[in-house]
Amino acid sequence: MEKVQGGASTSGLHLIHLRGKTQFDVDTAKRHLEKVPVEGPFHVVPEAASTENLAKFDVARYFYALQGFRFGHILLSAEHIPSTQTFLYENVKSFPTGITFVADVQGEGKGRGDNAWHSPHGCLMFSHVISIANGSLLPFLQYVVSLAIIEAIQQEAARCLQVPNASEAVDVKIKWPNDIYAPGGKKLGGILCQTVFLDQQFHVVIGVGLNVTNEEPTSCVAAVMRDAAARLQVSHAEVPTRESLLAAIMARLEVLTHTFVKDGFAPLQGAYLANWLHTGQAVKLVESDPATGKEQEVQLQVMGLAPSGYLLAVDRAGKRFELHPDGNRLDFFKGLVRKKL
C-alpha cells in the first residue's frame, strides 16, 4: 500500500477505509463496489484488505456504541477528504442505502447553494444515504434529521451528565429549516440534503456538520454540556465524543425514519415543534403595496409548519399564510415571501 499523507496517497488518490459492524456488512458493501466502482481520485480499502485505521475517528468505539439494525452499519472513514457529501452524491450507485461516510477534516464541505466550508478537527462531519419511494416526503426529511440530531444530543447529555432530564439541561434547538443552535444563539451545526432519483427510488444524501469538541468559530456540544454540568453541579461529567454522538444520531435517525416512511411527518411534528426556536416568533415582511407600488411592512407571527413544510404564520386579523424563503439569502428569515392559505 502506498504511504498515506494527510489522507491521500503519493499518487494523488484519497484513501477511504471501508468497515462494517459485521462481516456481512462489509461483504454487502464490497458487492456493490464490484458492480459499480467509485469514480474520481479515490481508493476505497475494505477492512479485509487492511487493518490500518486511516482516520483518527475511532471506528471500534463507534461500532461498540452503535445500536439499531441497519443505519450506519457500513462506515467509510477518511482522515482528509474534499467532501463526504460530494463523494457519496457522485457515487451513490456504488454503495448500499444506509451507508455513512465520516471524515476527520474536510477541505470543501458542502453548504447551501454553492457554499463550501473547511471543517476543522473536533467537528463531526458525515454524510449518510437514505432511500425513499414516496417523493412527497422529501421536503420533510431534513426536519426528521434535525430532530434525530437534537434527540441524540439530549441522549448523550443524559449519559454524560448522568441526569434524567437532559432535554432541560441542554437546551439545544432547531433553527428552521435545518440548523442546530446552542443556548445564546450560537450555531452548532447544519444539515444539507441532496437527492438522486435512481431505480424508482429517491436516494437522499444527507450531509451533517456538527461542532462536537471544537469551540471555534462558534460553540460546540462539549461546551454546551460543560455549561450544563456547572449549572447542575455535576462533577466529573463525561465529555461527548464524535464516535458516541454519531452512533446516537444513527440510532435515533433509524427509529424516526421508520415512523416517517410508514406514517409521514405528522407523528413527528409535535416533537419537532417542541424543539425548534420559532413558535410565536414575530417576523416582518417588506412587500410592495399593490395599490401604490410603495414598500410596506407586514407583521406576522409564526405558528408552526404549513402542510407543504414551509412556515405557517398568521397576521393580526388571524389570516393564515404560508411563508417560504425567496431563495436569495443564507438566512431564510430574511426575504420571506407569503402565500395565503
Going by C-alpha positions, the residue among 8, 69, 19 that lies closest to residue 43 is 8
Which positions of the chain have pLDDT values less than 70? 1-12, 47-55, 108-119, 166, 326-335
Half-sphere exposure of 193 (CA within 13 A, CB side): 20
Half-sphere exposure of 128 (CA within 13 A, CB side): 24
Q: Is 98 helix (H, G, I), strand (E, B) or coil?
A: coil
Q: How far apart are CA 333 and CA 65, in angstroms?
A: 37
Opening angle at CA 176, ends 270 and 109, nearest 5: 125
Domain ranges of the chain: 4-274, 282-340
Residue 23 exposed, middle or buried by CB count within 10 Å (0-12, 13-18, 19+) = exposed
**Which pLDDT score, from 0 to 100, does residue 327 have?**
61
b/e burial code for range 303-329 (CB count within 10 A of at least 16 → b): bebbeebbbbbeeeeeeebbbbbeeee
pTM for this structure?
A: 0.89
Query: Hey, what's the cell of 237?
Result: 461529567
Q: Indicate if the alpha-carbon torsion angle 110, 112, 114, 116 is positive or negative.
A: negative
Architecture of the domain defined by 4-274: 2-Layer Sandwich (3.30)
CA within 13 Å, CB half, 235: 0
Mind listing the pLDDT tens digit for each residue in 131-174? 999 999 999 999 999 999 999 999 999 999 888 876 777 889 99
pLDDT per residue over 190-202, tens digit each?
A: 999 999 998 899 9
Give the residue among 42, 2, 35, 260 at the shortest CA–CA distance from 131: 260
Q: What is the pLDDT of residues 237-277, one digit of tens each?
A: 888 899 999 999 999 999 999 999 999 999 999 999 999 99
The Cα 212–Cα 224 span in angstroms is 10
